[in-house]
Amino acid sequence: MAATTVTSSAAASVVFGCSAETGILINSFSREVTREKAEVTDNDGDVVAVSYYKPTASISIEGVVNGATGVAAAAPGVALSLNSTTNLHGITGGSIIVDSVSREETSEGFASISVSATQYPLL
């Protein structure tokens, strides 16, 4: 059942929950956008120029396995297609490549999966 969210006008655009993904019931989704940085310093050690380059986004998804396709079928080195937001904070488009997958099964719980991936905007 979908959640009912009641807000004031000051919080009219808050986001609750995660986007649905194939093969997983998501418990958490995170995306961190970074760029590498090079600095030029003068003879006093003060920064006089800086360049940001090589933008990437690190993505982490965790949840309960719910099928055999989509996120549940993720494998290192393979592209991953997501419904979750991957077009904010300076990186849009490109390819999301899986870095690692961890699956856990217990005798008294549901099978869970954790996937780490990197988004490359020019691939």
Q: Express each pLDDT in 71-89 by its tens digit.
A: 999 999 999 999 888 888 9
Token duo for residue 6: 């009641």
What are φ and ψ of residue 67, in 5° steps? 135, -170
CATH number 2.40.30 given to 16-120: yes
Q: Which residues of 56-94 are buried (b: 16+ CB within 10 A; e: fewer)?
A: bbebebbbebbeeebbbebeeeeebebebebeeeebeeb
Residues 118 and 53 sit within 8 Å (Cβ to Cβ): no
> Each residue of 34-80: pLDDT tens digit?
999 999 999 999 999 999 999 999 999 999 999 999 999 999 999 99
The CA distance from 1 to 16, in Å, is 13
